[in-house]
Amino acid sequence: MNIFIRDSAKLNTFANIFKHLKVYGRHFNIYFHPTKFYIQGMDSAKVSLFELTLEKSWFDEYTVEQTVAVGLNIEILFKILNMNRDDQILQINLKEGGDFLDIVLDGKIKQLFSVPLMDINDELLGVPEDTEWSADLEIQSKLLSELMNKQSLFGEIVTVKCTEKDVTITTSDQMIGTMATEIQFDDLIEYGVEEGASIEVSYSLKFILNMTSFAEISNIVTMNISKTLPMRMHYSLDIQKEDEEGEEGTSPASYMNFYLAPKINEDD
């Protein structure tokens, strides 16, 4: 197995992913498939799930002959990635039957690391790919992060309401009061809701903030909301490129998804 990231922007994105994954745990299996790099995990309360998919084409070089699950302490991995300089490239190598993952940061300064592998027993959950939600909104990821951080000053539960006329997020606390933010359609890149529908769902703000902490990895985030399904937050990591005729397109889907179950209303 041999993998390279030479682009400094992509290397920073790669590092930022592992910077924030610690909110979901320290130890994860990384699945190196011949066609993609994949991680899945849940928080300790089993309320929120994440999955990271980086297609083979996302990397500058990606050679994996057969699928291998590599158990790692991701805090150690981030410490290594966080040392990268703008002039360095990243190489990840695993020898067949090896007990260490070899990592090289190569540039004017060359740094070599060997990270011990771990035996981690986990079970991957099936994530439906063709789900249809009742409301979909696309927004600048930093703006959503800013809005949710402000809402957290007024409560621990956030309610998202989507109608054909507006999008509102609300938090309240008996001792502090209520804060409601109306998101202007001009601040949304795309928005769609079922005709005539009023979708109102509440979520734990703690887990929303965990998701929005990844705002650095993509400029845009999509929220998919339904009363009866977990909310999905989608960060696209696709690479814009031009085809032979000069038209823009994207690489195969590389992304980071988060899923969060809604809070159950005891009055329902």
How would you classify residue 149: left for phi > 0, otherwise alpha for psi between -120 and 50, otherwise beta? alpha
Give the whole-angstrom CA distance, residue 75 versus residue 260: 24
Q: What is the pLDDT of residues 75-106, one digit of tens each?
A: 999 999 999 988 999 999 998 888 999 999 99
Contact assessment for residue 154 and residue 172, using Cβ atoms and an 8 Å cutoff: yes
Strands 48-55 and 255-260 turn out to be antiparallel
Strands 27-32 and 188-193 turn out to be unpaired
pLDDT of residue 122: 82
Give the whole-angstrom CA distance, residue 23 versus residue 178: 27
Q: Average pLDDT of 112-116?
A: 96
Q: How far is CA 228 from the centre of its chain?
A: 22
Q: Is residue 54 part of a domain?
A: yes
Residues pairing with 107 in the sheet: none
Q: Is residue 241 part of a domain?
A: yes
Q: What percent of the chain has pLDDT over 70?
A: 93
Same domain? 242 vs 180 = yes
Residue 251: is its pLDDT beyond 70? no
Q: Is residue 24 part of a domain?
A: yes
Total domains, the chain: 2
Q: Is residue 122 part of a domain?
A: no
Q: Is residue 64 part of a domain?
A: yes
Structural domain of 68: 2-116
Q: What is the pLDDT of residues 3-39, one digit of tens each?
A: 999 999 999 999 999 999 988 999 999 999 999 999 9
CA atoms 146, 220, 187, 178: torsion sign: negative
- Six-digit token pair at 96? 């067949």
Q: How far is CA 69 from the centre of its chain?
A: 20
The enclosing domain of 71 has a CATH number of: 3.10.150.10
Same domain? 172 vs 206 = yes
Q: How many other C-beta atoms can be found within 10 angstroms of the C-beta atom of residue 27?
A: 14
Final residue in a domain of this structure, among 116, 148, 178: 116
Same domain? 192 vs 89 = no
The enclosing domain of 237 has a CATH number of: 3.70.10.10
> Can you give the pTM of this predicted structure?
0.91
Residue 44: is its pLDDT beyond 80? yes
Q: What percent of the chain has pLDDT over 90?
A: 79
Give the whole-angstrom CA distance, residue 82 versus residue 16: 8
